[in-house]
Amino acid sequence: MKKLRVYADTSVVGGCLDEEFSQDSLALFAMAREGRIILMLSDILANELDPAPTEVQRVLADLPPDCFEPIVSDEESAALRDAYLKSGVVGSKHAADAHHIALATIARADLVVSWNFKHVVHWDKIRMFNAVNLQEGYHQIDIRSPKEIV
């Protein structure tokens, strides 16, 4: 059976050290280590983690290379991010959130996981991201919290 390819945004990594989210975030990373899913981790996530505490950075550093797929931003992902911004899905201050969704869409992730309930895991935002995806010729993307996956 094909493994589920799950794009994780920065909030999921940070969630490993947050009392409210740690159990489910850690379980998601355990699923990857066990080979039950493939995590998709982007250069945007890596850049956002640069200023993070060492304990947060260690979450990714401790992952074996065979349990994740690196995703790199490019002109196509920037153009889709800009389409989300132009359509008002999120404001320019949240361009990184839009870029995460663009990367996951273009890389054909099975789903995106996030703890960002304001700009990502929100029924209205999901509907808007998918409307832009269809308008731009991409597939719809499923967006969930880690709690719904583990």
What's the pLDDT score for residue 57? 87
pTM, two decimals, is 0.95
Residues in the chain: 150
d(CA 93, CA 68): 28
CA distance 74 to 54: 28
User: Among candidates 103, 82, 83, 87, which has minimal Cα distance to 6?
Assistant: 103
Q: From edge to edge, which strands make up the β-sheet containing 143-144?
A: 68-71, 37-42, 4-8, 111-113, 143-144
1 confidence band (pLDDT: 50, 70, 90):
confident
The residue ranges of every structural domain in the chain are 4-148
Residue from 60, 38, 59 nearest 111 by CA: 38
Domain 4-148, architecture per CATH: 3-Layer(aba) Sandwich (3.40)
Question: Cα separation of 21 and 66, whole Å?
Answer: 25
Please write the tens of the pLDDT for every residue from 84-125. 999 999 999 999 999 999 999 999 999 999 999 999 999 999
Look up residue 109 and give its DSSP letter.
Answer: -
